[in-house]
Amino acid sequence: MPQLSAVRRFALWLFSEPESPYVSTNVLIDFAAARDYLAAINAEDETPRVTIQHLFTAAVARVFSEFPEANGRVIGRRIERFDRVDVAAPVNLLDHDSSGGMELGLVLLHGVDRMSLREVAAKTSKVVAQERQGRPTHPLVRLGLPIAEHLPGAVFDTFLDLSSYLARSRLASPLMRRFLGVSTVITNPGAAFRDIKGGKFIGGSMVPPTRLIPLGSVFGISALQDEVFVVDGAPVVSPGLPVLFIFDHRLFDGVMCSRILRRLIELLQDPQSTFGPAGRT
């Protein structure tokens, strides 16, 4: 692993726990071109349909592959870089009776940067369907949940503390990376505003947990909503996608953050150039 710069080593010290190292940035993306692109590829009547979440996930993965500085995490005073982009997303199970009483599921996609848009859609849809049927897809969750349900509270907490300690150790960290490694998380904090009249989602902020699975970044997206953008000096109403980007300042800085978001916006302005006319590139 190459020697870290003095700036990165200083950031690792400056933002070390118990201080929060996370910075939040909110942007609004004109999604008109991306919406038209989704409508065109979904007109082929192929299943599953490609959604905004699928496109955004695929786009983030391609951008992270272009900016390897973002594709990693901080553990203690060291930075781990990943050689592939693994994306996690929570799955709401509260509204699904077949989920077996679970509140939350997990989609974890490995090597998303090497998938076509159609592959991202197919894999995500398959995992979400299994999670909503009460069949956890991650092996650690599938095996550990039945045991955890019957552990006394003190034993459960001790088990989690021990797991978090091992996950940070140099010996166990590579193994934990294999089973619980996450390049970034994509969630939907503004979904609840979809049907609220007279109000809209603007942005938000959060501090990601640092236990067990340290996260380098988190994306939060909302539902599309009409927004006014200035195009060639004139106001134009277009579907806007509010995006919240939270990143670990020890991993990279604000300049890199702006480059990542600028590239993400560029990609979503012309997704066909990256994913092809049918989403199979």
> Is 260 contained in some domain?
yes
Residue-number span of the structural domain to which 31 is assigned? 6-135+182-213+232-275
Q: What is the CATH number of the domain that holds 243?
A: 3.30.559.10
What is the rounded CA–CA span in Å between residue 161 and residue 82? 25
pLDDT score recorded for residue 100: 58
Question: Is the preceding peptide bond at 48 cis, omega within 30 degrees of 0?
Answer: yes
> Is 219 contained in some domain?
no
> Is 44 contained in some domain?
yes
> Is 104 contained in some domain?
yes
Residues of the chain with pLDDT under 70: 1-2, 10-11, 14-18, 95-102, 140, 143, 175-179, 190-196
Distance of CA 17 to CAs 11, 124, 206, Å? 12, 34, 16
> Is 114 contained in some domain?
yes
> Is 205 contained in some domain?
yes
Extract the tokens encoding 141.
């969750």
> Is 226 contained in some domain?
no
What is the rounded CA–CA span in Å between residue 122 and residue 142? 21
What is the rounded CA–CA span in Å between residue 30 and residue 24? 20
Question: Is the preceding peptide bond at 18 cis, omega within 30 degrees of 0?
Answer: yes
pTM comes to 0.88
What is the rounded CA–CA span in Å between residue 176 and residue 73? 13
Provide the domain count of the chain: 1
**Phi, psi values for residue 31, rounded to 5°:** -105, 15
> Is 20 contained in some domain?
yes
Provide the pairing of β-strand 184-187 with 104-109.
Answer: unpaired
